[in-house]
Amino acid sequence: MIAATKYDFPQKLDTTSKVITSAIALGSFVPVFIENEKAAIAIVVLPVIFLFGLLTWNYKVSLNEEELSLHKLITKKKIPFSEIEKVERLPKSETNRMIRAFGNGGLFGYTGLFSHGTHGGMRLYATSANNMVLLFLHNGKKVVISPNEPENFIEALNKHLNHNT
């Protein structure tokens, strides 16, 4: 068992996510200056969309002695190391092969269910298309995250996986 050490890997937004997030944030205020019925709807809808994106934003991945945790502002998803079969880097060129089935494609990152031409269905908890890492779980599911330093993350996770097998 690895000593009780915790590793934190921030997930920063890529340029596309920053632009989309900023546009939604700024767009939330524009309808205030327009007087019509559609503006009234936008005054309610855009801030709700922004708030939902903020609350589901996966800002950090951490590793402790037993599990990988995906941190959001109000919740945390935990994946025990025993459920992870292997991990590999997903090159930027491969992200173009993803199709969003149900999810978010830019507001505070890329989250939800996506399909990939080679790897099939996957769940994304990513913030950057440049740093994607693919986790293969023993149950056949696939999870994608995007730590700022993907190679360092993969090395640290593999140390945990090798200790727990």
Q: In this predicted model, what pLDDT tens digit does every residue of 122-149 receive, in sequence order? A: 899 998 888 999 999 999 999 999 999 9
Per-residue pLDDT at 163: 64
The answer to whether 132 and 126 have CB atoms below 8 angstroms apart is yes
Per-residue pLDDT at 5: 56
The CATH code of the domain that includes 67 is: 2.30.29
118 in a domain, yes or no? yes
Q: In this predicted model, what pLDDT tens digit does every residue of 23-74 receive, in sequence order? A: 877 776 665 566 667 666 667 777 777 777 777 778 888 888 888 999 888 8
144 in a domain, yes or no? yes
DSSP state of 56: T
Token look-up 């590999």 returns 88
Q: Please give the full DSSP string across 95-139, using - where no structure is assigned.
A: HTTEEEEEEEEETTEEEEEEEETTTEEEEEEES-TTS-EEEEETT
Per-residue pLDDT at 142: 94
Mean pLDDT of 157-162: 83
Number of domains composing the chain: 1
**Dihedral angle, C-alpha 121, 127, 132, 134, nearest 10 °:** -40
Q: Does 1 or 24 have the greater pLDDT score?
A: 24
Owning domain of residue 107: 9-13+56-163
